Amino acid sequence: MRKILVTGGCGFIGRAVCDELLAAGHAVRAFDALIDQVHGDGAPRMPDAVETVRGDIRDMDAVRAALEGVDGVVHLAAEVGVGQSMYEIARYVSGNDLGTAVLLEAMIERRVRRIVVASSMSVYGEGLYETADGERRGAVRRRPEAVARGAWDPLDAAGRPLVPVATDEEKPVELASIYALNKFMQERATLLFGEAYGVEAVALRLFNVFGPGQALSNPYTGVLANFAARLANGKPPMIFEDGEQRRDFVHVRDVARAFRLALDKPRAPGHVINIGSGDAYTITAVARLLAEAMGVPDTEPEILGKARAGDIRHCFADIGKARELLGFEPERRLETALGELAEWVLSTSATDRGAEMRRQLEERGLVS
């Protein structure tokens, strides 16, 4: 049995990772700041077998203590939200960049065998595209003036629409938000640290994670949680742009299993690895599927026809590397797993703060 420290261990993904590690026979210590935006007024219920420590990832003394007797680290602690990162910049840089720096510096004295850090598909910016002639385009960025007039899809030099294809890890990074910049710093710093100090380091680039237990009252969390909170309060899902943007949705239990595999598999260290489902869905289709699962199939989403700063058009995962290095295969598809999510949402209280989120972005000129 090994002891694993899970930073952000009381969060949505963190709790699933703790469960997965316990089931595999590991001892688990969860370290979490329990911030109000994520957890509301109360701490989540954790398994009795998990040693839970409340602390700030930027507090060196607290982090050193949390690392005592630990063999491996899963680093999930982070401020999460593309839109919010564009105006609470100091908060995001402090929590994500400084927090990771403190953790890595503490690990110089309290060395572990392996660390797995949660990165994000946001580091890609736009996903991978092909031209009409089949040529790959990995450095695509939409022009703000084109997006402002509703020209949502990227075009090639001849003005023809580019075709989105599955994004692999070889695609160049194209950072479109402060959050994306944070996540790229976290993964690169972790891999550089591992190489310098002989610590096995892995970065998992997570796509859109969904499942029961997500923070329904945090408007900057995953799109499915936002849609669920709206539907639970009798309101339609609110969709930016035209709803035809495409994303990859991966179940939280599959993500948790990926972290366990990344801690164990001998070929994983030194790599960044996509963790997704390998499937692509339009956001409108997802909203309709969720409305059906929640028993309100006639609820049509509200299409805003406006874009948020930092948003991208299409990005979905090529998971070939995860299959090769981790033996990872997603077990839960969106279409068959939404019933479980809907049942959980309807059994809990969900505060809809979507309108508040939109207002905050619009007041700062971050919606066009």
Report, as residue numbers or ranges, the catalytic residues: 179
- Whether the CB-CB separation of 205 and 120 falls below 8 Å is answered with yes
Picking from 245, 238, 232, 241, the residue whose alpha carbon sits closest to that of residue 357 is 238
Q: What is the CA radius of gyration of the chain?
A: 20
Cα 7 from Cα 32, distance rounded (Å) = 6
Cα 250 from Cα 2, distance rounded (Å) = 27
Q: 144 phi and psi, to 5 degrees?
A: -55, -40
Tokens of 92: 């995001």
Instruction: List, in order, residues 6 or more apart from 145 with CB less than 8 Å away.
Output: none
Cα 207 from Cα 250, distance rounded (Å) = 7
> In the chain, at which residue ranges do the beta strands (DSSP E only) sit?
3-7, 27-32, 50-54, 72-75, 114-120, 129-130, 136-137, 163-164, 200-206, 208-210, 238-239, 246-247, 249-251, 272-275, 281-282, 302-303, 314-315
Q: What size, in residues, is the chain?
A: 368
| Cα end-to-end span (Å), the chain | 53
**CA distances from residue 354 to 31, 239, 303 in whole angstroms, order as listed:** 29, 10, 13
Picking from 117, 11, 102, the residue whose alpha carbon sits closest to that of residue 72 is 117
Helix (H, G, I), strand (E, B) or coil at 12: helix
Site of tokens 């700063």:
309
